[in-house]
Structure 1
Amino acid sequence: MAEDCIPPAFNPLRLMARTAPYFQRSQAARARRAKTLLLPMPRTSADELSLQVHIALDAMRRGKGCTNATQTLCQAMILVGLLAELGYGTATYEQMQSAEAIISAAFDRGRDSDVWRFDDGDFEQFASIVTTYDTQLQRAPMSAIAEASNRLDRFRAGESFEEIAGRRRQ
């Protein structure tokens, strides 16, 4: 299957990395940044991220997925869990455990047979996760999204969730 079914760069903070076109006093810039971190993500940015995840979900439902689609859904699943842990949205341990088994099976099936898809029940499970993700992107403050994204990056770099959780408690 082609690896171009969705864009490979999946980073919620990438959309927010735009700089102001003029110089500002540092105190005013810090105040504006602090305020930005308290507000939800701009709607256009949230919609762009959400669209990537919905495209990946649809590709997997139709049996037209790829490695990138599966990775995107896996990252969205982890972010849902991390944001829920921070108090934004709900995700039960059982739901996340089941979703992890589904995504692992999709990776195994794709790697072994180059068929990247979800079964009907698997699709429904991830549709629920994607719906939660949409809501989190629209409601969680940027500070929570940044925290969850940073934790995901550390996990992808090889840190365990226990190490990441331990740092957060310190």
Structure 2
Amino acid sequence: MNAALARDRSLSCHVALDGWRRGHGNRRIVNEIIRATYMTWFLQCAGYGDAHVELFKVAECAGEVALMKADESGEQEGWSLDDEWVSTFTEILALHDAQLRTAPLHQYESAERRLLAFLHGPERSPIPAPND
């Protein structure tokens, strides 16, 4: 992957996380961060990373909770990320940054295809339970 594309992708994710953390979250931002979480997982499955599966499950849960709270409140904007989850997403984005620097473009494209297949499929999560 060329450096400019990797930098743009990384910056987009970090800006989204910062906005969510500062109380400017919305459905688009949460979806972008969860997309990055899944991409990081798929790239790790391809050999680019060794984070514990629990990290990804916690992030996935945080996204689900945020969307559920928003649905219950009816709020479309101004969502905040709970402090206990900031470090989870920071760790995932740090790994994703490393992946963007080291994984070849074909691996990134393969991860994107896996993400699209998951999004259009029946599975609830592409990340296995920690004990699986």
Q: Same fold (TM over 0.5)?
A: yes
Distance in 2 between residues matched to 1:162 and 1:156, nearest whole Å: 9
2:67 is the counterpart of 1:107: yes
2:47 is the counterpart of 1:87: yes
Q: In the alignment, residue 35 of structure 2 is paired with which amino acid?
A: Q
**Superposed displacement of residue 112, structure 1:** 2.3
TM-score by length of 2: 0.86
Q: Which has the higher contact order (CA 8 A, sep 6+)?
A: 2
Classify the secondary structure of the residue corresponding to 2:47.
coil
**Superposed displacement of residue 139, structure 1:** 0.6
Structure of greater Rg? 1
Q: Sequence identity of aligned pairs in percent? A: 31
Distance in 1 between residues matched to 2:124 and 2:26, nearest whole Å: 26
Q: In the alignment, residue 119 of structure 2 is paired with which amino acid?
A: R
Summarize the Cα distance change of 1:154–1:62 in structure 2 as closer, same or farther, 3 Å threshold: same
Distance in 2 between residues matched to 1:155 and 1:147, nearest whole Å: 12
Q: Corresponding residue for 2:81?
A: 118
- Residue pair 1:82, 1:148 contacting (<8 A) in 2 also: yes
TM-score by length of 1: 0.68
**Superposed displacement of residue 162, structure 1:** 9.1
- Residue pair 1:107, 1:116 contacting (<8 A) in 2 also: no
- Residue pair 1:88, 1:136 contacting (<8 A) in 2 also: yes
**Superposed displacement of residue 90, structure 1:** 2.1
Q: Corresponding residue for 1:76?
A: 36
What does the per-residue CA deviation read over 1:87-125, in whole Å, with 9 as the maximum and x for residues that have no partner?
001221111111111111111122222242211111111
Structure 2: runs of 5 or more not aligned:
127-132
2:113 is the counterpart of 1:143: no
Taking only aligned residues, the RMSD between alpha carbons, in angstroms, comes to 1.8
Classify the secondary structure of the residue corresponding to 2:79.
coil
Q: Corresponding residue for 1:13?
A: none
Structure 1: runs of 5 or more not aligned:
1-40, 164-170
